[in-house]
């Protein structure tokens, strides 16, 4: 398994664990009483599961197993692949901080706009790198 795929799959596992821990905290009465922001992090939980876990796991496995691009660069552009990993996780991290911060009345414009931009560019980087590898033999 290539190094980038290992990073994608391990990051996906971290997101799965984080999402399920967050779910426990959201459901725990004592925790949500002590930290009222837990009542508004449902979208964060959902995105950790669907983007952080599911989509990122797909990215990692697709980068590993999809047909080779060429003998010289079998997995397309490594730079685009790494950009995808870093931007997607940066976007998720900004969201994880930004959403509770917004609930506590903090200034969140740079966090949430940064999150939106980073996730968008991360997703598009994956599409750009994967597209030429999806072809008929």
CB closer to another protein, 21 vs 127: 127
Residue 55 touching another protein (CB under 8 A):
yes
Does residue 80 touch another protein according to CB under 8 A?
no
How far is it, in rounded angstroms, from Cα 78 to Cα 9? 16
Q: Is 130 in the site for another protein (CB under 8 A)?
A: yes
- Rule CB under 8 A: choose which of 6, 17, 67, 104 binds another protein: 67
Q: Give the span between the Cα atoms of 74 and 67, in whole angstroms.
A: 8
Contacts of 44 (CB under 8 A, 6+ apart): 22, 95, 96, 99, 100
Q: Are 35 and 24 in contact (CB under 8 A)?
A: no
108 forms part of the interface with another protein (CB under 8 A): yes
Q: Looking at beta carbons only, is 34 or 43 nearer to another protein?
A: 43
To the nearest whole angstrom, how small is the minimum distance from the Cβ of residue 72 to another protein? 20
Contacts of 128 (CB under 8 A, 6+ apart): 80
Task: Name the token pair of 82.
Answer: 């790494």
For the chain, how are helix, strand and coil distributed in percent, rounded to 5? 80, 0, 20
The interface region with another protein, picked from 11-19, 25-33, 34-42, 123-131 by CB under 8 A, is 123-131
Binding site for another protein (CB under 8 A): 50, 54-55, 58, 67, 95, 102, 108-109, 112-113, 115-117, 119-120, 123-124, 126-127, 130-131, 134-137
């Amino acid at each position: 398994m290539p190094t980038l795929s290992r990073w994608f799959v391990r990051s996906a596992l971290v997101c799965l664990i984080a999402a399920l821990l967050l779910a426990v905290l959201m459901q725990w009465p004592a925790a949500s009483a002590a930290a009222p922001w837990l009542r508004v992090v449902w979208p964060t939980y959902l995105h950790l599961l669907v983007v952080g876990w599911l989509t990122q796991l797909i990215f990692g496995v697709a980068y590993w197993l999809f047909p080779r691009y060429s003998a010289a660069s079998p997995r397309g552009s490594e730079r685009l692949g790494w950009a995808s990993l870093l931007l997607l996780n940066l976007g998720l991290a900004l969201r994880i901080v930004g959403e509770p911060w917004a609930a506590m009345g903090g200034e969140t414009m740079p966090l949430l706009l940064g999150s939106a931009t980073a996730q968008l560019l991360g997703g598009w980087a994956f599409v750009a790198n994967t597209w030429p590898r999806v072809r008929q033999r």
